[in-house]
Copies of this chain bind each other. A is one copy, B any other.
Amino acid sequence: MQALLLIAHGSRREASNDEVRILAERLAALSGDKFITVEAAFLELAEPSIPDGVSRCVTAGANDVMVVPYFLSAGRHVTEDIPAELDKARTDNPSVLVKQSDYLGKHICIPNILLTLADSELQPSCAA
């Protein structure tokens, strides 16, 4: 039973945190019954924390949590801070598999997406 945990930095501006929560709901709707739950969590400045986000997944019945960093670059947050938070979550939930995927900015479609944003005559669409 796999859960998806979307991790964002977190903002003092609550509307930005809500954008992330709404995005997690969108992922849940798009993925059908693939994940037992889709949750959002934040590295700092917003709730839930990353360990609390993993706990929510486990409470929902997950024994496998796929963590997707909603980050643009491989900075310290992606390479050190998120892995450290995930280690805490693994200590709290030793029987749960917690994996971290590539971060958003590393996806090979990002350049194409930026070019469609730049093309004011193009109607954005998404075949994926």
Contact = CB atoms under 8 A, between A and B. Distances in A.
A91 B13 CA distance: 30
A27 to B, nearest CB: 6
A116 B76 CA distance: 23
Nearest to A70: B72
A66 B118 CA distance: 6
Interface stretch (A47-55, A82-90, A99-107): A99-107
Contacts of A107: 113, 116-117, 124, 126
Q: How many copies does the complex hold?
A: 2
Nearest to A107: B113
B120 A101 contact: yes
A45 to B, nearest CB: 12
B113 A109 contact: yes
A118 to B, nearest CB: 5
Interface of A: 4, 6, 8, 11, 13, 15-16, 19-20, 23, 26-27, 30-31, 66, 68, 70, 72-76, 99, 101-105, 107-118, 120, 124-128
